[in-house]
Amino acid sequence: MPSEMDRKRNIKLTISYDGTNYSGWQRLPKATIGDRSIQGLLEGLLSEVLLEPIKLIGSGRTDAGVHALGQVANFYSRSNLDENIIRQKMNQVLPEDIKIIEVNEAPFHFHSRFDAVEKVYQYIIDTRERENVFIRKYSYPCGKVLDLDAMRQAANLLIGTMDYKSFCTDRRDGKSTIRTISEITIEELRQNRNQQGVILTFRGNGFLHHMIRILSGTLLEVGIQERSVQSVGQAILGKKREYAGITLYPQGLFLKQVIYEKNR
């Protein structure tokens, strides 16, 4: 006879959400009243749809106000409900700012966090004199034209395997701050030959707390000529938070993709 664990399925979700009205991805402590986390909301609704307690394993946390185009999570279930039916039923009951994009059965030992090879984040900066009223909740209002050549030179210094201690909220747990960033791209958004905004895209094997927002703030300071390209290299070597730039607001940050295959 198969064991109880053998009868379970491992279900993988790909999720998009607008993080504006939420406390972030991570579920709050069980005793907390008014949990506004994405994880907590999804677990509650999945439990109702599948008629069993569900605990979600997320690929990683997103902070309050941060959005996701392709967050990934998995959970174990005894339900025999078809994956497409799970997706349909969940999207019927979810609020309009959260959507299940895909539901797939994964190998039993798949882990959405530990099996992730790389993640891709994007940060949007609005460079209009006055921010666009329709994307103001999804971008940082800069209001200045940015020097993209200088920003790209600075970004090149940030690519590689190195200690990013200057580019994260101070860690007191003693864990490593060494990460690998494989790619940083800076794309200009133009209209009628005028710069309207900039999209910063970061691809790496993992990111520290607030790391993308601090990297983006540092590159922004280079772009508005409040910081030199050379100072970015000095910030890497200095390994202190004060050597890097400001922490940009969360609303401009998106988790774009979680990658599980090295050749993608």
Is 112 within the bounds of a domain?
Answer: no
The whole domain housing 81 covers 9-106
Determine the pLDDT at residue 261.
83
Our CA angle for 15, 12, 206, nearest 5°, is: 70
Is-contact 68 13, C-beta < 8 A? Answer: no
Determine the pLDDT at residue 191.
81
Selection from 136, 164, 156 nearest residue 236 by Cα: 164
Determine the pLDDT at residue 118.
97
Structure tokens at 51: 């008629």
Question: How far, CA to CA in Å, does 221 sit from each of 56, 112, 139, 195, 214?
Answer: 38, 35, 16, 17, 11
Is 1 within the bounds of a domain?
Answer: no
Same domain, 122 and 93: no
Domain finish residue from 106, 131, 163: 106
d(CA 254, CA 20): 11
pTM for the model stands at 0.92
Is 191 within the bounds of a domain?
Answer: yes
Determine the pLDDT at residue 1.
32
Is 229 within the bounds of a domain?
Answer: yes
Domain finish residue from 106, 138, 165: 106
Is 36 within the bounds of a domain?
Answer: yes
Same domain, 151 and 213: yes
Is 2 within the bounds of a domain?
Answer: no
Same domain, 17 and 134: no
Domain finish residue from 106, 135, 160: 106
Q: What is the CATH number of the domain that holds 208?
A: 3.30.70.660
Same domain, 99 and 42: yes
d(CA 77, CA 259): 24
> What stretch of H or E contains 252?
none
Please, what are the averages of pLDDT over each run of 10 residues along the chain (264 residues)?
A: 63 97 86 77 96 96 95 97 97 97 97 97 93 86 94 98 93 84 94 88 96 98 97 96 96 97 64
Into how many domains does the chain fold?
2
Same domain, 139 and 72: no
Same domain, 102 and 123: no
Q: In whole angstroms, what separates CA 28 from the centre of its chain? A: 18
Same domain, 93 and 127: no
> What stretch of H or E contains 73?
strand 67-77
Same domain, 123 and 205: yes
Residues with a catalytic annotation lie at 63
Same domain, 85 and 127: no
Same domain, 240 and 179: yes
Same domain, 136 and 70: no
Same domain, 134 and 222: yes
